[in-house]
């Protein structure tokens, strides 16, 4: 065997060994086990119902005076509230329907720094995802850093008309 031929064969063998080591080092069997992300308590997205939505009559903006409005729950925008365990924001108010079918309405802005709160249907609370404040179904603080309650508004449901009065 010629010297050149020998060196060529050695080079191929070394390359094969290096490649094999790399492949075994990179194999999936050495990868860490994928982390399974367990969903946390579902929150109800605060969607739907601006300040002038179809199906809304009255005032839902704190800056415009007394909160006093009605929602037509047969309208496309507000029909989600026909289902228990849902919520939406209309103007400055978050309106929720508990899993038991009761209506709740509180000011949407967290009293800590103003972030819109989410409704947690599982325990009928309102949670701020900014710094973690939690408010009970009457708007009172149960977990800070918020130190004052969300303003709660009265709700009256007219079952025949499928209409909800807030304020
Ligand atoms: S803004 Fe809600 S807890 Fe800070």
Tell me: pLDDT of 5 over 80.
no
Q: Report the separation in Å between the CA atom of 129 and the middle of ligand 1, taken as the mean of its atom positions.
A: 7
Return the pLDDT at 68: 95
Query: What do you get for the CA distance between the two ends of the chain, in Å?
Result: 98
Among protein residues, the one whose CA lies closest to atom 3 of ligand 1? 131
- Ligand 1 pocket check for 125: Cβ under 6 Å: no
pLDDT in tens, 80-131: 999 999 999 999 999 999 999 999 999 999 999 999 999 999 999 999 999 9
Can you give the pLDDT at residue 48? Answer: 55
CA of 166 to the centre of ligand 1 (A): 24
Task: Examine the pLDDT at 59 and tell me if it is beyond 60.
Answer: yes
56-166 CATH fold: Rieske Iron-sulfur Protein (2.102.10)
Q: Is the CB of 111 under 6 A from ligand 1?
A: no
Interval between CA 144 and ligand 1 midpoint (Å): 8
Residue 44's pLDDT band, with cuts at 50, 70 and 90, is: low
Domain boundaries, the chain: 56-166
pTM of the model: 0.72
Measured in Å, residue 127 CA sits from the centre of ligand 1 at 9
Q: Bridge partners of 164?
A: 71, 157
Q: What average pLDDT does the chain have? A: 80
Is the shortest distance between the CB of 112 and ligand 1 below 6 Å?
yes
Binding site membership of 116 for ligand 1 (Cβ less than 6 Å)? no
């Amino acid at each position: 065997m010629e010297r050149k031929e020998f060196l060529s064969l050695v080079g191929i063998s070394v390359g094969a060994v290096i490649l094999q080591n790399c492949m075994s080092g990179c194999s999936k069997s050495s990868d860490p086990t994928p982390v399974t992300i367990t969903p946390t308590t579902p929150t109800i997205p605060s969607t739907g119902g601006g300040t002038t939505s179809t199906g809304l009559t009255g005032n839902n903006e704190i800056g415009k005076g007394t909160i006093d409005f009605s929602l037509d729950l047969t309208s496309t925008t507000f029909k989600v509230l026909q289902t228990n365990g849902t919520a939406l924001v209309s103007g400055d108010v978050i309106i929720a329907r508990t899993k038991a079918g009761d209506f709740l309405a509180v000011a949407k802005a967290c009293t800590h720094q103003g972030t819109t709160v989410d409704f947690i249907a599982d325990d009928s609370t309102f949670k701020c995802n900014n710094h973690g404040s939690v408010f009970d179904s009457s708007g009172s603080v149960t977990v800070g850093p918020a130190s004052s309650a969300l303003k709660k508004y009265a709700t009256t449901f007219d079952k025949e008309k499928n209409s909800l009065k807030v304020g």
